[in-house]
Structure 1
Amino acid sequence: MESILIHPESAEQLKTVKAVLKALKVQFEPQSNVLPPQVLKSIEKGIKQYEDGQTISLQEFTEKHFSKK
């Protein structure tokens, strides 16, 4: 059988979906969308670098990291 991923847009929708699944005796596993602290810290660092103008183009990145020397 296939699985589905549901994206409710409100707490009320989530509550309703859970109630329907329980009523139909469909098994489900609630999952949190919270990112680990190290990921959040890395994202904040990247945003700060962008705001400070510390950016390079995709071309520069490719040349720096994928060029064969």
Structure 2
Amino acid sequence: MFLVSHIWLNNQFQIIISESASVHQKALDKLVGSGGIVVLNNRQDNVLGSVIVNGKRSVWTLTKSEGVELNERN
């Protein structure tokens, strides 16, 4: 899971991408406190992506921390 937010600040879009909800909220609060406006909030639950290795499609984690979580479950 990762969180994506788009904030309009100083005539530019600021984009926050986080894996942690608490870190994401702190960054949002800081930008909104500076006068930013939240335009879009998304949550992506896609834990696994895929890559092609030696001509074969393989499942691959999107981030290092998600990979650690998967290894701990097994």
TM range (shorter): 0.3 to 0.5
Q: Looking at secondary structure, tell me which structure has more helix per residue.
A: 1
TM-score calculated relative to the size of structure 2: 0.36
Q: Looking at secondary structure, tell me which structure has more strand per residue.
A: 2
Bigger radius of gyration: 1
TM-score calculated relative to the size of structure 1: 0.38
